[in-house]
Amino acid sequence: MNNLTINYKNIWYPPGGILIWIIICLELLTFGAALIAMVYYGNQEIEQFQNSSLKLNTTYGMLNTLFLLTSGYFMAISVHELKNGTKKKFKKFLLLTILFGGLFLCLKSFEYYEKLSEGIYLGYNTFFTFYWMLTLFHVIHVLVGIVILTSVYFGIKKEHSNTKIEDVEAGAAFWHMCDLIWMMLFPVIYLLF
Q: How far is the CB of 153 from other proteins (least distance, A)?
A: 19
* d(C-alpha 175, C-alpha 185), whole Å: 16
- Cα dist from 157 to 91, 94, 103, 148, whole Å: 8, 11, 23, 14
Helices (H), 45-120: 46-54, 58-83, 87-117
* d(C-alpha 148, C-alpha 162), whole Å: 16
* d(C-alpha 27, C-alpha 185), whole Å: 13
User: Which lies closer to other proteins via its Cβ, residue 80 or residue 157?
Assistant: 80
User: Which lies closer to other proteins via its Cβ, residue 34 or residue 95?
Assistant: 34
- Residues in the site for other proteins, rule: CB under 8 A? 8-11, 14-16, 21, 25, 28-29, 32, 35-36, 39-40, 42-43, 46, 58-59, 61-62, 65-66, 69-70, 72-73, 75-77, 80, 172-173, 176, 179-180, 183-184, 186-188, 190-192
Cβ burial of 53 (10 Å; 0-12, 13-18, 19+) is middle
